[in-house]
Amino acid sequence: MERGRRGMLVKRLCHITATGVTLTMLAGCAASSGVDQQARGGYFARNLSGLPADPPMAPGDNPILAVRALHNPPPRLIRLALLAQHERWAGTPYRLGGSSRRGIDCSALVQNIFSDTFRLDLPRTTEQQVHAGLKIKRNALRPGDLVFFRSRGGYRHVGIYVGEGRFLHASTSRGVMMSNLDNRYWQRHFWQARRTLEPVLLSRRRGETGEG
Active site residues: 106, 157, 169
Distance CA 141, CA 162 (A): 9
Distance CA 138, CA 186 (A): 12
Q: Mapping DSSP to helix (H, G, I), strand (E, B) and coil, where does residue 111 land?
A: helix
